[in-house]
Structure 1
């Protein structure tokens, strides 16, 4: 038996080549539109940050330019979801914080995403649904750790 990672018989090859497009489709098709998707990403980046978060930090986390991130952040501020604050580490620096409305919006997005997951997987066996959810959460956690290692100890 061929056990090469490119061998489709062993779960590699063609199956693994479908991961990137599948993740892209998941991201596009399980949100209520691009504005909601981008807003949700920004709110989660701020909420998940281990420390203070800046516009530049959000841009880096999202993989977009600073002006692109700035437009979404400005809309979130206008809508009362984020606020600008002085850094506690360096008062000259401006950081972003979630407002109560921003946290409420994050919970709303999470509820919508859970409901979407439940609808999409409604015909699955309960054990399959649970296992997929566990693997998806694990993948997300491991990708966060992998990204941190790629950036190196200085967070670059």
Structure 2
């Protein structure tokens, strides 16, 4: 990242915070998963696998049993889209499908060892990205920003992700 940071007067910071947040979301939503997929697996097609593994891991804290519907809810997809994603991640060896203990018509999903490895690699990449993006910041600023990010995630009920 370049050193094009603008100094925003204190009274404008709150006004600019919302638009800045959404610029960051748009920027990273288009880039992080692609870059992560290529760096972790060497192939772009594994983007869906990373999303599926992240969704299953995130859902573990919310529910005792993870299903395709759980993955769909976590990713904001319809059931058929989540089903294809789960099918492909299962075929690639990142997830296993078992029979639900609650409803035998549903599949219960779990991470495999390969899925846990992919998840760990994704989390390492995410931590490294944070470190890289804030490398030139004073330590106190990095710590405060990390605290604010985790606080926001917690407030939104996302604090269990990325343990």
The answer to whether 1:25 aligns with 2:27 is yes
The answer as to whether partners of 2:67 and 2:108 remain within 8 angstroms in 1 is yes
Q: Residue 52 of structure 2: which of 37, 42, 47 is its match? A: 42
The answer to whether 1:98 aligns with 2:111 is yes
**Larger relative contact order, structure 1 or 2 (CA cutoff 8 Å, min sep 6):** 2
TM, length-normalised to structure 2: 0.73
User: How many angstroms does 1:35 deviate by?
Assistant: 4.8
| Two-structure CA RMSD over aligned residues (Å) | 2.2
TM, length-normalised to structure 1: 0.76
User: How many angstroms does 1:37 deviate by?
Assistant: 4.7
The answer as to whether partners of 2:94 and 2:112 remain within 8 angstroms in 1 is yes
Mark the runs of 5 or more structure 2 residues left unpaired by the alignment. 1-9, 38-43, 159-163
The answer as to whether partners of 2:48 and 2:89 remain within 8 angstroms in 1 is no
Provide closer, same or farther for how the CA distance between residues 18 and 35 of structure 1 changes in structure 2, counting only shifts above 3 A: farther
Task: Report the 3-state secondary structure (helix = DSSP H, G, I; strand = E; otherwise coil) of the residue aligned with 2:136.
Answer: coil
Instruction: Give the number of equivalent residue pairs.
Output: 138
